[in-house]
């Protein structure tokens, strides 16, 4: 009989690419993971991993087993959901991930309200960017994810993920308060001579804004790359550049900033995501009802 816990370890190694990373994610030692995977290979009767430099990769047999492990974990999650539904009690642990601006702007009030409505429910939150949240959702590390889409290139189309729109978040131009360009609407093309403060180059919003600038006929003059929106805001306040930021990042914005819509308007969509293979538990349903979306709206 193949051990479920050992199957989970194999899934983590497949996801993270190394035994050490898998061990860190599971809060155990790398030697313990290696020992358990050796037992799993004995149970399977075939080699599941092979060395690839300093990392490991799955053999064909390992990939097959991970595929079936996904099915097994999905079935266990469904069983847990049905058992929870029988009791109709909102209790246990609800695991949520949200991208940082949503974690800051949306989650505190939702978590407080859930605590008041359902004292037996424990809610945990991880601030994951959308791609990381989707991986965690597939791995059953979380129950629901708050994710975002900017355009067709970032659209979530996975068959095993269902989404529900929460809100549309405008992308806004942030300028120093004394900027002569501050007005009701700002064309991206009018910012071609400005220095820019932008997110990290591997971020999705950086790609979206870079594409918008290129469509306007220029490459942005990037002075700084910052992953922390509060740092970007501080640099813009100091007159060191301009930025385009999501509206959620500009809540409670300082008076030293001028905030203007883009012309034409730009926005992102904020969504809740769950796995299609996992029935909605009372805890997940209660969480979704508190988000700014009609509770009767079906998942896409």
At residue 31, φ and ψ (nearest 5 deg) are -65, -35
pLDDT digits (tens, 9 = 90+) for 149-165: 998 888 888 778 999 99
pLDDT, mean over the chain: 85
Buried b / exposed e over 157-180, threshold 16 CB at 10 Å, is eeeebbbbbbbebbbbbbbbeebe
- The rounded percent of the chain whose pLDDT value lies above 70 is 93
Res. 231: pLDDT tops 70: yes
Least confident of 69-73, 145-149, 202-206: 69-73
Cα–Cα distance measured from residue 212 to residue 209, given in angstroms and rounded to the nearest whole number = 5
Least confident of 58-72, 81-95, 178-192, 199-213: 81-95
The whole-number pLDDT of residue 181 equals 78
Cα–Cα distance measured from residue 247 to residue 12, given in angstroms and rounded to the nearest whole number = 35
Q: Which DSSP state fits 242? A: B
Cα–Cα distance measured from residue 154 to residue 169, given in angstroms and rounded to the nearest whole number = 15
Mean pLDDT, residues 245-252: 89
The whole-number pLDDT of residue 160 equals 82
**Pairing mode, strands 49-52 and 121-127:** unpaired
Write down all domains in the chain, each with its CATH number in brackets.
4-73 (1.10.10.10), 90-167+270-289 (3.40.190.10), 169-266 (3.40.190.10)
Q: Is 196 exposed, middle or buried (0-12, 13-18, 19+ CB in 10 A)?
A: buried
Q: pTM for the whole thing?
A: 0.71
pLDDT digits (tens, 9 = 90+) for 37-80: 888 888 888 888 887 777 778 788 878 887 887 777 777 777 76
Q: What's the pLDDT band for 297 if we cut at 50, 70, 90?
A: very low
Angstrom CA distances, 91 to 81, 199, 272, stand at: 12, 38, 20
Top-ranked range on mean pLDDT: pick from 199-203, 241-245, 279-283? 241-245
- The rounded percent of the chain whose pLDDT value lies above 90 is 48
């Amino acid at each position: 009989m193949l051990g479920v816990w050992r199957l989970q370890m194999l899934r983590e190694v497949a996801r993270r690419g190394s035994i050490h990373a898998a061990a860190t994610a599971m809060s155990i030692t790398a030697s313990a993971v290696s020992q358990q995977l050796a037992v799993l290979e004995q149970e399977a009767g075939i080699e599941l991993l092979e060395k690839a430099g300093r990392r490991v990769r799955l053999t064909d047999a390992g990939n097959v087993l991970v595929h079936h492990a996904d099915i097994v974990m999905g079935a266990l999650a469904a069983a847990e959901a049905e058992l929870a539904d029988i009791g109709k009690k909102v209790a246990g642990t609800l695991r949520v991930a949200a991208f940082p601006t949503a974690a800051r702007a949306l989650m505190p009030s939702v978590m407080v309200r859930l605590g008041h409505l359902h004292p037996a429910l424990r809610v945990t939150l991880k601030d994951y960017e959308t791609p990381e949240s989707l991986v965690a959702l597939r791995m059953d590390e979380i129950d629901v994810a708050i994710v975002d889409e900017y355009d067709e290139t970032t659209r979530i189309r996975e068959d095993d993920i269902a989404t529900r729109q929460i809100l549309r978040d405008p992308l806004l131009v942030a300028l120093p308060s004394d900027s002569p360009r501050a007005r009701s609407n700002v064309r991206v093309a009018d910012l071609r001579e400005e220095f820019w403060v932008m997110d990290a180059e591997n971020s999705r919003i950086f790609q979206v804004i870079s594409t918008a600038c290129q469509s306007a006929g220029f490459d942005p003059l990037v002075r700084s790359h910052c992953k922390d929106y509060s740092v970007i805001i501080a640099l813009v306040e100091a007159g060191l550049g301009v930025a385009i930021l999501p509206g959620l990042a500009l809540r409670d914005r300082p008076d030293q900033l001028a905030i203007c819509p883009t012309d034409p308007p730009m926005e992102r969509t904020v969504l809740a995501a769950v796995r299609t293979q996992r029935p909605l538990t009372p805890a997940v349903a209660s969480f979704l009802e508190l988000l700014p979306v009609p509770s009767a709206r079906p998942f896409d």
